[in-house]
Amino acid sequence: MDDWLKDSVEVEASWVTVDLAIFTIRDDRLMVLLIERGVEPFLGRPALPGGYVQKNETLRDGALRELWEEAGIDGGRLHLEQLGAYGDPQRDPRGRVVTIAYLALGPDLPAPVGGTDARRAYWASVSQLMAEAKGLAFDHLAILSDALEEVRRKIEYTAAATAFCGESFTLSELRTVYEVIWGEGLDPSNFRRKVLNTVGFVESTGERWHPPTGRPAGLYRRGSAWLLSPPLLRGTGNGA
Amino acid sequence: MDDWLKDSVEVEASWVTVDLAIFTIRDDRLMVLLIERGVEPFLGRPALPGGYVQKNETLRDGALRELWEEAGIDGGRLHLEQLGAYGDPQRDPRGRVVTIAYLALGPDLPAPVGGTDARRAYWASVSQLMAEAKGLAFDHLAILSDALEEVRRKIEYTAAATAFCGESFTLSELRTVYEVIWGEGLDPSNFRRKVLNTVGFVESTGERWHPPTGRPAGLYRRGSAWLLSPPLLRGTGNGA
DNA sequence: CGTGTTTAAGTCAATATGACCTTTAGGGGT
DNA sequence: ACCCCTAAAGGTCATATTGACTTAAACACG
């Protein structure tokens, strides 16, 4: 890089990182992937997985690489989107580090292995973390909080909820995703009607799944639509 | 800044900038503020206003400073929110420059003056720009495109449309904002009913405004709610 | 062949929506 | 004063959607 502007005292080179808020649903709870930091600063403290963006990769590629390196997760199987940039000058004790936060949603993922900069990686309950509201390195609690709010809104007007399910899923599974993330129960019958009436949300695979007990459930896969119209609105009450 | 990781060939210092997509409505058209670049690269080409983030400011403060320096606009009077980060390694010929794009919405603003790095600043018609789809420096057309889509969606489920109006406004003014941004006509009567039934969207000032001709219109100001429930949905058709 | 359990489908009153139409409150002209 | 034009404000009504609830269907198991 040339040294244009090197003489300006106001502008200074920065380091750019990506951090990942990776969500999944396990045991009917919303979980986020955390690592235990193996390097300074915040050595030993829980943090979102992430790391430096390298020389010739896009931000998204950096996120995918960190996903693999730190959590052992193949990004091809989950939904990844940018959440936003966090650049408070005080957020990193080492100096000016701007981080680009990414949001990842995936089906029940394998217990991850620790990566290079991480002693270990593990799934943590989001509701528990938010209740404690402490412990995370850097401004990762704020990032996590923003990510959670984004997920809650995203599943209202996009098909993002399907990212938490496998290739094919029952409508009950999908409904559980909403119930877990919104923290409220939904009427199964009305939920079914809404989802099935929203064109392109899901499409039937023709197959059916036999639960341990009860009537077999039809299986669906994600439809062609990402934006839902009309959206599934919470709050106004979708049922009991 | 220390030299941790200086020996890693993969990681390299970056420059971080902010760019602004500043929208307003003039003459019933959606306009965006552009500058004519006064420095290399892309000297003389139109671009979104923006510049380097300085040493001790937050990203948002940087955006507000650039807003003032390059466009002479006081950020206190408009809505400012982060759009996202753009970090393709090829996006800037000088090297790795990650930009944080901000979205600003304001009422009909004064004709701006050129700033330090800009020969001049001017309002450009968004629909015209998107139709031509060329000319902008860097990846600013992509940023503008994302910003436009964000605005279109944002006014659906937030009170963002009020940011285009002054302190107080008539419902016709507000409706025009929607019509201009969505590019479709709305039924005045149904629009009024919807807006007035959405709690916290607007509240009456008690005053009224006398149009050049016709019955005087009631004046409203922004209500306490930012998120609209239910949202104002387009597409499904809010009228003619 | 009942029973328990879960999915699937139906009912219905209350509400919201989209497409209209009517009334009201000005201003300007004659 | 009166009429006419315009835009706001308010009303009507058939249709669609919603929320709460009920009923029917399809298995597994004993």
Q: What is the CATH number of the domain that holds A137?
A: 3.90.79.10
pLDDT digits (tens, 9 = 90+) for A111-164: 677 667 778 899 999 999 999 888 999 999 999 999 999 999 999 999 999 999
Tally the domains of chain B: 2
Q: In terms of domains, do B216 and B105 share one?
A: no
* Nearest CA among A159, A165, A231 for reference residue A194: A231
Q: In terms of domains, do B48 and B69 share one?
A: yes
The pTM is what?
0.92
- State the pLDDT confidence band at A24, using cuts at 50, 70 and 90: very high
In chain A, the residue whose alpha carbon lies closest to the alpha carbon of B95 is A1
Task: Report the pLDDT value the prediction gives residue B4, as an integer from 0 to 100.
Answer: 45
Angle ∠(B110,B46,B137) on CA atoms, nearest 5: 135
Q: Is A119 part of any domain?
A: yes
- State the pLDDT confidence band at B237, using cuts at 50, 70 and 90: very low
Q: How far is the CA of B212 from the C1' of D5 (A)?
A: 12
A68: tokens are 């693999």
Q: Look at residue A2 and give its three-state secondary structure.
A: coil
Is the pLDDT at A12 greater than 90? The verdict is: no
Instruction: Report the residue from B16, B55, B59 with minimal CB separation from A16.
Output: B16
Q: In terms of domains, do A129 and A172 share one?
A: no
Q: Is A168 part of any domain?
A: yes
Q: In terms of domains, do A192 and A131 share one?
A: no
Instruction: Report the residue from B5, B13, B85 with minimal CB separation from A14.
Output: B13
Using the 3D structure, point to which of B155, B183, B200 is the last residue of a domain: B155
Q: In terms of domains, do B33 and B146 share one?
A: yes
- State the pLDDT confidence band at B111, using cuts at 50, 70 and 90: low
B230 strand D contact, CB < 7 Å = no
Task: Report the pLDDT value the prediction gives residue B8, as an integer from 0 to 100.
Answer: 46
Q: In terms of domains, do A76 and A123 share one?
A: yes
pLDDT digits (tens, 9 = 90+) for B49-85: 999 999 899 999 999 999 998 888 889 889 999 999 9
pLDDT digits (tens, 9 = 90+) for B133-189: 889 999 999 999 999 999 999 999 999 999 999 999 999 999 999 999 999 999 999
Q: Is B17 part of any domain?
A: yes
B231 strand D contact, CB < 7 Å = no
Q: What residue type is assigned to position A205 of the chain? A: T
Residue B118 pairs in a beta bridge with B37
Nearest CA distance, A130 vs chain B (angstrom): 22
What is the residue range of B109's domain?
Answer: 3-155
Question: Cβ(B50)–Cβ(B70) under 8 Å?
Answer: yes
Instruction: Report the residue from A14, A56, A157 with minimal CB separation from B89.
Output: A56
Residue B52 forms contact with A (CB below 8 Å): yes
Q: In terms of domains, do B49 and B119 share one?
A: yes
Task: Report the pLDDT value the prediction gives residue A228, as an integer from 0 to 100.
Answer: 96
**CATH number for the domain including A166?**
1.10.10.10
Nearest CA distance, A86 vs chain B (angstrom): 8
Q: In terms of domains, do A79 and A170 share one?
A: no
Residue A196 forms contact with B (CB below 8 Å): no
